[in-house]
């Protein structure tokens, strides 16, 4: 199912239903990119990007940080949400109002009217980095969707099924796209294939992903 958000030219934002529960809002974040980048600069100053460890002790290729009431961390003890940044020992930066507004509006447009995110995971992908298949299972309420905002270099996002070896579907995410998934799609395995070097004129040689969740 495809339909335009507005009765405008082809370059206008538009919605694509990938499958039940998963909605792609093409170009939806484009009007807000400069504000989002200013907010990111402030967040980085308070809680810098870093490479965390997997439970197995390996460094995660993707650099990340968080904002909101809690942030997602990983170390030898596993994945979990914490109210304090383990690197700074302080609270995570507050979630900027523009972040929250964009996430809740995108969720509502996708059929999830009661989304109330309390955490935003910020991932930075450099060329050749990827995110392995996984499920988002560390949150308390699986009835709440996940909202993912893509900025910078494009990436190929993969959706699987409820089992790790289920068939994969590929979706190309461009600068400004917002992907929302919940309901029947909430616990599907997903990941990001190795990101190719395609510098963006504003964001540079990186892909930034903002992932909003209701964690607690």
Tell me what pLDDT residue 12 has. 74
Considering the chain, what percentage of its residues have pLDDT values greater than 70?
A: 95
**Extended beta strands in the chain, E state:** 2-4, 14-19, 22-26, 63-68, 71-75, 78-82, 119-125, 131-134, 146-152, 155-159, 169-173, 178-181, 190-192, 207-213
Length, in residues, of the chain: 216
Which band of pLDDT confidence, cut at 50, 70 and 90, is reported for residue 204?
very high
The helix-helix angle for 33-46 and 97-109 (nearest 10°) equals: 130
4-28 confidence digits (pLDDT tens): 444 333 457 899 999 999 999 999 9
> Among residues 30, 213, 39, which one has the least CA distance to residue 135?
213
Exposure on the CB side of residue 63, measured as CA atoms within 13 A: 13
Domain 2-213 has CATH 3.40.50.620: no
Please write down the long-range contacts of 49-54, taking CB distance under 8 Å and 24 or more positions apart: 49/122, 49/124, 50/87
- Look up residue 13 and give its two tokens: 């934002």
This prediction's pTM: 0.93
Tell me what pLDDT residue 57 has. 87
In the chain, what are the domain boundaries? 2-213
Rounded to the nearest integer, the mean pLDDT of the chain is 93
Helix, strand, coil in percent for the chain, rounding step 5: 15, 35, 50
Residue 2 clears pLDDT 60, i.e. is over it? no
- Residue 170 · residue 152 · CB < 8 Å: no
d(CA 133, CA 117): 23
User: Mean pLDDT, to the nearest integer, of 174-179?
Assistant: 98
Residue 115 clears pLDDT 80, i.e. is over it? yes
36-94 confidence digits (pLDDT tens): 999 999 999 999 999 999 888 889 999 999 999 999 999 989 999 999 999 999 999 99
């Amino acid at each position: 199912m495809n339909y335009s958000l507005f009765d405008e030219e082809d370059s206008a934002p538009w919605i694509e239903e990938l499958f039940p529960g998963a909605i792609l809002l093409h170009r939806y974040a484009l009007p807000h990119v400069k504000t989002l980048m200013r907010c990111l600069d402030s967040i980085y100053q308070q809680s810098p990007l870093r490479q965390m460890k997997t439970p197995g002790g390996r460094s995660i290729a993707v650099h990340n940080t968080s904002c909101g009431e809690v942030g997602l961390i990983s170390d030898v003890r596993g994945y979990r949400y914490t109210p304090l940044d383990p690197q700074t020992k302080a609270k995570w930066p507050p979630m900027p109002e523009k972040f929250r507004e964009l996430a809740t509006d995108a969720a509502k447009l996708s059929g999830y009217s009661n989304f109330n995110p309390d955490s935003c995971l910020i991932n930075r992908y450099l060329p050749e980095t990827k995110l392995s298949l996984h499920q988002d299972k560390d949150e308390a309420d699986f009835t709440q969707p996940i909202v993912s905002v893509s900025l910078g270099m494009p990436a190929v996002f993969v959706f699987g099924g409820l089992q790790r070896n289920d068939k994969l579907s590929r979706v190309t995410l461009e600068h400004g796209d917002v992907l929302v998934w919940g309901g029947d799609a909430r616990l599907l395995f997903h990941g990001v294939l190795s990101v190719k070097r395609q510098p963006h004129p504003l964001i540079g040689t990186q892909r930034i992903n903002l992932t909003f969740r209701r964690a607690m």
